[in-house]
A and B are shown apart, each in its own frame.
Chain A
């Protein structure tokens, strides 16, 4: 149908988006402003798409929200200009803004679950975007809503339109979210981390959808931390750091030949599937030298016994063996078979990577192996002892775990030191004095200072918290570390450091890893062997190279196909999946 003329006069000639010297600040408790966005300028021509990339806290989200004036009460645009097709987005009255929001500029939010009203059917939420702008009648709006849902590839749109957000799958929710953004056929769509919450395969689909929309000539600004996504999707890129623009230009140029060190750092930190294949040097050591742990310190940790030593089994022999694990959870909802039949083994001092998408049951496997869950059937042998049966505390402590969310896994009311010594205290290892000494050694080993022992978890950054978590896991000198998504909560640069730390530790202490991750690149970088999980079963497993070089199982293909590499090579292959 034909679009009515907008109520604000748009200058068709002017660039779609023209931002110059935009500064946005948040009022702090002490009164003065914390400047989140500091002088951002860029221009977006119609039909082009811009990626705003950066790590958390770089101000990329605030930038786009400033454009629509969707700032929290405490936030305000300090100065600078932003024009949408000639219309002043900073100065013009709220009334004018309302005619632009949703009507001319659609916004896609990161988490559809939160961005959709839980108590209103999806269809109605879509329709609002039309009726509010008086674009058409309610009945028409309903039609359009259903049409748009179909448009974004939601099967059975009539039925889905009547559903509530929580009744839709993650992918569908995100599609609905996008549908809501585009239903009024805006000229510009702003997407704030539109795929971060999604699995790779779903992400690929959603991105294809966005690509289509873009193909219709809709301008697009996408905020993302994922350079791969940016590259796959956008024409231009804007690299941000601490509220400022580091570098900007056509995406290929910037990513293939970065001018700024920060950009380069980002790029280097970012892992691509295939990196390992290309560079034989492993691991990619990027951590700042300062963060290196003094060798002798860690050496002492390595060879100093703490009393009850466990006779070590010959190297090469599997230290952890899981046989035919089965686990299902029953709730009022019904029974879900989280793990159908999983067998795996990890050799001393080596790493088994377990890949899979959310709901594939990989985390459950981790917990079964750790002995946190009782398997319905099957058993886990730690060096020959059944973890769920005859294993002694002494033996049990030879397997420790690192969790995805470092903060959540640390005891909030304990200091870093106390957190690290807690497992020792529980096992009654050493005297308090010894434990404290041990704690500071470990802190140094993971690249923190001994003074950090006295601080509380919330006083550390995410990366540091994960380091503490690792130190805690290492405290009882385990032979096996189960790492459940150890880096997925972290920024790429931090991720690189943590991965580096992990492999370094493995080299030094000969710890074996069970690495759970959804990120194939991470798995490839870290693993000796790889197992691919889907719907509670391992669909394919084997040596890292073979899996990545010549995947057998179609699902593995799909996964690999969905990868969006940052570096030029392979970009084409990933285009469609």
Chain B
């Protein structure tokens, strides 16, 4: 129950953070030079004339927020709407409400993210386990080399090369667009590679840590076959902490696929967000920002919950530990974090 109470407090913190975030975003938006109208002008490609769109927006704005109200009132109005998930019309797409834009865009981004994460996990876990078992062999260093290489390139660059190879040269996959599963392949791969490397490295080091635990030795001393010992004692305990890396990774993917979306012309949420920011589309930007924030924080909560469920120790302990686990997650999230190259001895018989 200390557990539940702890999550109660966490929820409160989330709420607080959301308020701060929205306020920050709004302020930044006020500070940022250039208004929506100005930018309409710019994209209209001719000077000295404001797009009628800007007018339409002015109208929209007036009806929702009242005529030239002070900024802080606009903010309040927006937040009032936000509470009931009624974010009002976007500037850029006056006919569409922000929530509907999100409703359209998010499933797309989410699909990409989930698929990418699944693929990453599917490859990362075996690779990491294998590398750990074959520690300090060509297999180990080799696979890690390749992975790090894949990770070293930012995903948009990987994407470019993928496109050049599979669409440009081999003509087997579409280079861009959003017209069916075949359009998913390249972007998902491009997104998966980075996480894949991080996860695999993490699995590996986590495995090495577990392998060097005394209870693994004890299990062997009980006469367990390597396969059984690894499956029952090593795998589980090494994969539990993986949750703490995967969660935020998924969240990050769900919210931060801007490059990929632009490059492959995928109507995802990342794109709407970037456009909103650059076109100063207040409602859309605020909406997406809040939505992202919620997603990210929700994943945090879920991860901690799941972690607690998977690891009896954490379950039994108080929130303090969970906080701790989040910290360590933060560190392991970065490339190749985790343990040293098995500086602790790993028992034989698992080779």
Q: Which residues of A contact B (CB under 8 A)?
A: 68-75, 94, 97-103, 106-107, 109, 111, 114-120, 128-129, 132-133, 164, 166-167, 180, 184, 331-333
Q: B135's closest neighbor in chain A, by CB? A: A73
Q: How far is the CA of A166 from the CA of B313 in the complex (A)?
A: 7
Task: Say which one of B15-23, B159-167, B231-239 lies at the interface with A.
Answer: B231-239
B212-237 CB contact bits vs A (8 Å, 1 = yes)? 01110111111111001000110011
B347 at the A interface (CB under 8 A) = yes
* Complex Cα–Cα for A32 and B319 (A): 48
A102 in complex: contacting residue of B222, B233, B348, B349, CB < 8 Å: B222
Are B233 and A120 in touch, CB under 8 angstroms?
yes
Q: Contacts A102-B222, A114-B214, A116-B218: A72 and B346 contacting too (C-beta < 8 A)? A: yes
Contact B237 A73, beta carbon cutoff 8 Å: no
Chain A positions within 8 Å of B320 at CB level: 332
Q: Is the CB of B223 within 8 A of A101?
A: yes
Q: Are A132 and B311 in contact (CB under 8 A)?
A: no
Chain A neighbourhood of B222, CB < 8 A: 101-102, 128-129, 132, 180
Say whether A119 contacts B237, CB under 8 Å. Answer: yes
Sort A-B residue pairs by CB-CB distance and give the 3 closest, nearest first. Answer: A72-B345, A332-B318, A102-B223
Q: Given the complex, which residues of A lie within 8 Å of B236, measured CB to CB?
A: 119
Given A71-B347, A72-B348, A98-B224, A166 and B215 contact (CB-CB distance below 8 Å): no
Given contacts A68-B221, A101-B223, A164-B313, 8 further A-B contacts (CB under 8 A): A70-B220, A74-B345, A101-B221, A102-B224, A107-B221, A117-B237, A119-B311, A332-B320
In the complex the two chains form, is B349's CB within 8 Å of A94's CB? yes
Let me know if A107 and B218 touch, CB within 8 A. Answer: yes
Residues of the B chain whose Cβ atoms lie less than 8 Å from the Cβ of A68: 221
In this complex, the member of B135, B222, B347 whose beta carbon has the largest number of chain A beta carbons within 10 angstroms is B222
Query: 16 A-B residue contacts at CB 8 Å?
Result: A71-B347, A73-B346, A98-B225, A101-B223, A102-B223, A103-B223, A109-B217, A109-B221, A115-B215, A117-B237, A118-B237, A119-B240, A120-B232, A166-B316, A167-B316, A184-B223
Q: Which residue of A lies closest to B210 (CB)?
A: A117
- A-B CB contacts (within 8 Å), total count: 104
CB closest chain-B residue, reference A133: B223
Looking at the assembled complex, report how far the CB atom of B182 sits from the nearest CB atom of chain A, in whole angstroms.
Answer: 42
- Complex interface: chain A residues within 8 A of B237 (CB): 117-119
Interface size on B, residues (CB 8 A): 34
Give the distance in Å from the alpha carbon of A94 to the alpha carbon of B220 in the complex: 11
Rounded to whole Å, the gap between the CB of B205 and the closest CB of chain A is 16
Whole-angstrom CA separation of A180 from B236 in the bound complex: 21
For B217, what are the chain A residues with a Cβ–Cβ distance below 8 Å?
Answer: 70, 109, 115
Smallest distance from the beta carbon of B142 to chain A beta carbons, Å?
A: 19
Q: CB distance B312 to A73 under 8 Å? A: no
Q: Are A117 and B215 within 8 A (Cβ)?
A: yes
Residues of B within 8 A of A133 (CB): 223
Given contacts A114-B214, A115-B215, contact A129 B346 (CB under 8 A): no
* Bound-state Cα–Cα, A514 to B312, Å: 40
By DSSP majority rule, is chain B's interface helix, strand, loop, or mixed? helix
Do B318 and A69 touch across chains, with their CB atoms under 8 A apart?
no
Q: How far is the CB of B128 from chain A (nearest CB, A)?
A: 18
Residue of A nearest to B224 (CB): A132
Give chain A nearest CB distance to B198 CB in angstroms: 24
Residues from chain B with Cβ under 8 Å of A114 in the complex = 213-215
Interface centre among A97, A101, A117, A164 (most CB of B within 10 A): A117
Q: Flag if A332 contacts B319 (CB, 8 Å).
A: yes
Contact across chains for B2 and A332 when beta carbons are under 8 A apart: yes
Cβ of A331 and Cβ of B312 under 8 Å apart?
no
Shortest C-beta distance, A352 to chain B (Å), equals: 36
Bound complex: CA A72 to CA B240 (Å):
24
For A109, the chain B residues whose CB sits under 8 A away are: 214, 217-218, 221
Chain A residues, CB < 8 A from B2: 332
Q: How many angstroms from the CA of A254 to the CA of B232 in the assembled complex?
A: 45
Give every chain B residue within 8 A of A107 (Cβ-Cβ).
Answer: 218, 221
Instruction: Knowing A101-B222, A117-B219, A166-B316 are in contact, say whether A69-B349 is a contact too (CB < 8 A).
Output: yes
Please state if A115 and B223 are interface contacts (CB–CB under 8 Å): no
- Residue numbers in A under 8 Å from B310 (CB-CB): 119
The answer, among B213, B232, B312, B348, for a CB contact under 8 Å with A128, is B232
- Closest approach, in angstroms, between the C-beta of B306 and any C-beta of chain A? 14
Query: In the complex the two chains form, what is the Cα distance from A189 to B103 in whole Å?
Result: 65
Question: How long is the Cα–Cα vector from A73 to B132 in the complex, in angstroms?
Answer: 12
- Tell me which of B220, B318, B319, B320 has the highest count of chain A C-beta atoms within 10 A of its own C-beta: B220
Indicate if the CB atoms of B218 and A180 lie closer than 8 Å.
Answer: yes
- A70 close to B347 (CB less than 8 A): yes
Instruction: Tell me how far the C-beta of B9 lies from the nearest C-beta in chain A, rounded to whole angstroms.
Output: 12
With A115-B214, A166-B313, A180-B218 known as contacts, the answer to whether A99 contacts B347 (CB < 8 A) is no
Give the residues in chain B near A167, CB-CB below 8 Å. Answer: 316
- Of the listed residues B221, B311, B316, B318, the one surrounded by the most CB atoms of chain A closer than 10 A to its CB is B221
Closest-by-CB residue of B relative to A74 is B345
